[in-house]
Amino acid sequence: MACPFRSSSLAPPTPASARCRVSQLRTKLKLSSWKLANAKKCVCVARASGPEPGSDEKNAGAGFPCTPSKVFVEEAIGAEYGEGFETFRMDGPLKVDVDYLNDKLQESFLQRIRHAMKPDETYGLIFSWDNVVADTSSLKLSAWEQLAFEEGKNMPRNGQIQRSMLHMAADDVLHKVLFWGDGAVDLERLKSRLLQLYYDNLLKLTEPVEGLKEWLDALYTAGTPCAVVSCLDRRNMLEALERMDLRRYFQAVVSEEDGMESIAHRFLSAAVKLDRKPSKCVVFEDDPRGITAAHNCTMMAIGLIGAHRAYELVQADLTVGCFSDLSVINLRRLFAHKGFGFMELQKQVVEKSPRKRKLTIDTIF
């Protein structure tokens, strides 16, 4: 049975004065909530526009990263026993190691057909940033010279000491080699200033390593995917690649924001971004530690003579003096001795031999 009365008609009538008080209260609540929202918005804008605590305007203008960088830090090689890194998925953390990537990044059926027609696309090339893409040794030495001039110190000219300044951690160089700085606070100040000078010099970098652009152009024509790995932050590295006119050659970039803890982890991350299994990747390095990291990841390594001498790069699968010594056919020759993988599907040729006739002997009596 339907009720002819509305719910509002059953309530007692509200006096006019009470209605006025309620309307005034609602207006006051709306005004107060509007003011609170505007206040929160102003606070958010002020926080976003203002500099972060502990960062100065000079560093922000010069592109100096607020987070600590690993430029003057000796990184770990990594993957000594094939271990990888840990990533996170919707169903929980996932541990990725060398064997896992070699198994999961197997070529599909269509990819095998394409790579059979275009074998140069089979491989993935990984370039290290330091002294392979850019001449960072001169940038680091220039930063050390500027720091010595500002501190009133003498820049050592000994070749062995300069090699230590390029390849050792800044803490060890300042404390054990140069004997600069008094106390931990002074050492931190010198390291921060050294890093800032390096980034200032990086802004002036406009030319890549000799012969690299021609080599990348040949790889681009052949369709071979390339990646660059570095401990720099992504913004500074991409800007440097744009200044050197190399950005279009690299399909993947591994930077500090990827959170890799070792050299081998950077190589594995580059292989994932290139969609190539590690055993089909080639690393271009000039450091023996990087060559060892590449072999730990089951990758091939090409050593570039320059910062290190040829006898220090004997672990590399191929050693060259410059990029002009390379050709695309060299990449196929690196994998020529491997042949087919274990338990990989292969075509088996079956030779059909003619049927043998049965010979019978007729005996006549």
- Give the integer Cα–Cα distance in Å for 145 and 129: 22
Residue type, position 311, single letter: Y
Count of Cβ atoms closer than 10 Å to residue 263 Cβ: 26
Q: Exposed, middle or buried, 335 (CB in 10 Å: 0-12/13-18/19+)?
A: middle
CA 50 to chain centre: 30
pLDDT of residue 339: 55
E-only strand ranges, 45-153? 85-89, 92-96, 124-128
Alpha-carbon dihedral sign for residues 26, 31, 36, 41: positive
Q: Give, for all 365 residues of the chain, the pLDDT tens digit.
A: 444 434 433 344 444 444 444 444 444 434 344 444 444 333 333 333 333 333 433 343 444 454 446 777 878 898 887 777 777 777 777 778 898 899 989 888 888 898 889 888 999 999 999 999 999 999 999 999 999 999 999 888 888 888 888 888 888 888 888 888 888 898 899 999 999 999 999 999 999 999 999 999 999 999 999 999 999 999 999 999 999 999 999 999 999 999 888 999 999 999 999 999 999 999 999 999 999 999 999 999 999 998 888 999 999 999 999 999 999 888 888 887 765 554 455 556 666 666 766 666 665 55
Q: Any idea where the domains of the chain sit in the sequence?
A: 85-134+207-334, 136-202
- Give the integer Cα–Cα distance in Å for 77 and 117: 36
pLDDT of residue 196: 92
Beta strands 85-89 and 92-96, pairing class: antiparallel
Paired with 134 in beta bridges are 130
Residue type, position 96, single letter: V
**344: helix, coil or strand?**
coil
pLDDT of residue 363: 53
E-only strand ranges, 163-272? 226-229, 252-254
Count of Cβ atoms closer than 10 Å to residue 350 Cβ: 5
- Which token pair is 327? 């050709």
The DSSP string of 5-74 is S-HHHHSPPPPHHHHHHHHHHHHHHHHHHHHHHHHHHHHHHHHHHSPPTT--HHHHHTT--SS---TTS-
pLDDT of residue 135: 92
Query: Whole-angstrom distance between the N-terminal and C-terminal Cα of the chain?
Result: 120
pLDDT of residue 351: 67
CA angle 342, 343, 345 (to 5 degrees): 120
Q: Is the distance from CB of 205 to CB of 139 less than 8 angstroms?
A: yes
The CATH topology of domain 85-134+207-334 is: Rossmann fold (3.40.50)
Q: Is the distance from CB of 231 to CB of 69 less than 8 angstroms?
A: yes
- Give the integer Cα–Cα distance in Å for 305 and 324: 13
pLDDT of residue 12: 43
In the chain, % helix, strand, coil (3-state, to 5) comes to 50, 10, 40
